[in-house]
A = this chain, B = another copy of it.
Amino acid sequence: MSITPLEFARGNAEVYRNQLFELLRIPSISTMPEHNDDVRRAAEWLMANMKQLGMQTAELLPNDGHPAVYGEWLGAGPDAPTILVYGHYDVQPAVLADGWSNPPFEPVIRNGVIYARGASDDKGQMFTHLKALEAFLATEGHAPVNVKYLIEGEEEIGSPNLGSLLSTHKARLVADVCVISDTGMAAMDNPAITYALRGLAYMELHVTGPKRDLHSGLGGPVHNPALALSQIIAQLHNADGSVAVPGFYDDVLPLDADERAALREIELDAAAFIRETGIPAVWGEPGYTLIERQTARPTLEINGLLSGFTGAGSKTVLPAKAMAKISCRLVANQDPERIYQQVRAFVQQITPPTVRTELRYLNGGTPALVDRNLPAMQAAISAFERGWGAAPSFRRSGGTIPVVADFARELNIPSILMGFGLESDGAHGPDEHLSVEMFHRGIATSICFMEALAEKGR
């Protein structure tokens, strides 16, 4: 009696976890140049793993930044559907001092949960799709669909080279559907398919005053740049919590009654949200529910502030400059570049004559909204029912996967976002983690998706 791919995957659970640990140990932080070698090492590790599990092709796709890893297995033949799996092997910065319980690049399992930077976002989730193909090839010698893998190394810095990569390799990347596992569900027994993602416009605001730091005893006739920065930032929101930048909401596609009704069904429990995050009270744009504020409405966040003396103790300095990292989460049909222009124009308008300001655009991503009525969506529902053990709900994500928009634009294919993580996995923060059980259910769900897509067709 032969073993099924699902059985094989379960039997190899420990092997797969150990492989994932190898990948998690590589600090592939794409935004920090001192980690460039680590990013490359992670790409090469992934390419080797693809070859080892039996892909027909596995190579690095060079570009102006960190290479993407491309692998394919096309043995199902031209009549079978083709899946393009997209994921990323790069991660956010992380150091122990941020509040981690273990060194972020020394993965550990505590109470059935893997703790490591990248465990959930996105090494752990992405890796499930590689292991799904491996389970087919190791048992049946072939998979029911053709599979292409595009695993990039620049997602955490806004995928600056992915558009040109998709364009360059367009012919090779042809597929029926893109599958991405880089999103979260509220609870393990409540899986979700994400049909909307917010976009991003990431900026840096610089305020300068005196040409060098002054002794604060000279203060009085000088507009303090840290003060001026605070005053400018304070004007970016209205008193009610909405964004005050003129035109900011102009391109927002309004929610229709059906969608608002569906979102009400999965509205955040305010008390639980307060408990989980530790905030004293919820906040945000009036007229919208918490889940709408988090996933269906744009935001303007301050991601960082730096000015003057920030060490222990006191330094009586009047700083020469002040800096803020500012990013907007966007929703369909907002455009990152247009939002940047609007924020810049507003900042210029409210800059007092006593300081100078400059708003720089760092990177961005277009928001995405996927049709919930596609056949591939039905295959995904069936995959969760069989592979995960629970029917999925449809959700919006507050995060950004800019490539969903890129795939629609460059390859003209829809993306199915089947997340295998939890919203509470702590992506981008300290103690990022992924449940061991969810990692293995993810592999099973990917196996079932391949089978279901082969049945339901394209």
Contacts and interface: CB of A to CB of B under 8 A. Distances in A.
Contacts of A211: 277-278
Contact of A215 (B229, B313, B356, B428): B428
Contacts of A430: 212-213
A52 B302 CA distance: 58
Interface stretch (A12-20, A70-78, A124-132, A287-295): A287-295
A230 interface: yes
The 5 closest A-B pairs by CB, nearest first: A217-B399, A211-B278, A220-B293, A234-B234, A223-B283
Interface in A287-342: 290, 292-295, 297, 299, 301-319, 322-325, 327, 329
Interface in A54-98: 92-93, 98
17 contacts: A98-B213, A213-B429, A215-B399, A216-B303, A217-B399, A220-B285, A222-B279, A222-B282, A226-B233, A227-B302, A230-B234, A282-B354, A303-B314, A303-B315, A303-B317, A314-B363, A315-B428
Interface size class of A (residues with CB under 8 A): 35 or more
Nearest to A30: B313
Nearest to A31: B313
A135 B397 CA distance: 78
A398 B209 contact: no
Interface of A: 31-33, 92-93, 98-99, 157-158, 198, 200, 202, 209-224, 226-227, 229-231, 233-237, 241, 268, 273, 277-285, 290, 292-295, 297, 299, 301-319, 322-325, 327, 329, 352-356, 362-363, 397-400, 423, 426-431
A270 to B, nearest CB: 8
Given A234-B234, A323-B310, A301 B216 contact: yes
A227 B223 contact: no
Given A212-B278, A212-B429, A222-B279, A303 B309 contact: yes
A20 to B, nearest CB: 21
Given A212-B426, A399-B215, A304 B297 contact: no
A158 B315 CA distance: 10
Given A216-B327, A318-B301, A400-B217, A313 B32 contact: yes
Given A219-B294, A362-B314, A304 B279 contact: no
A277 B329 contact: no
B429 A214 contact: yes
Contacts of A230: 229-231, 233-234, 302, 305, 324
Contact of A233 (B227, B293, B299): B227
A314 B324 CA distance: 11
Given A283-B223, A314-B158, A354-B281, A216 B329 contact: yes
A314 B234 contact: no
A316 B315 CA distance: 30
B316 A428 contact: yes
A241 B353 CA distance: 13
B429 A280 contact: no
Contacts of A299: 216, 219-220
Contacts of A292: 220
A355 B280 contact: yes
A428 B305 CA distance: 22
Contacts of A314: 31, 157-158, 202, 303, 325, 327, 362-363
A317 B94 CA distance: 12
A214 B301 CA distance: 11
Nearest to A241: B223
Given A233-B230, A324-B226, A213 B278 contact: no
Given A234-B230, A234-B234, A314-B363, A218 B398 contact: yes
A337 to B, nearest CB: 16
Given A305-B306, A315-B304, A283 B212 contact: no
A203 to B, nearest CB: 9
Contact of A309 (B226, B325, B355): B325
A160 to B, nearest CB: 11
A348 to B, nearest CB: 14
B313 A304 contact: no
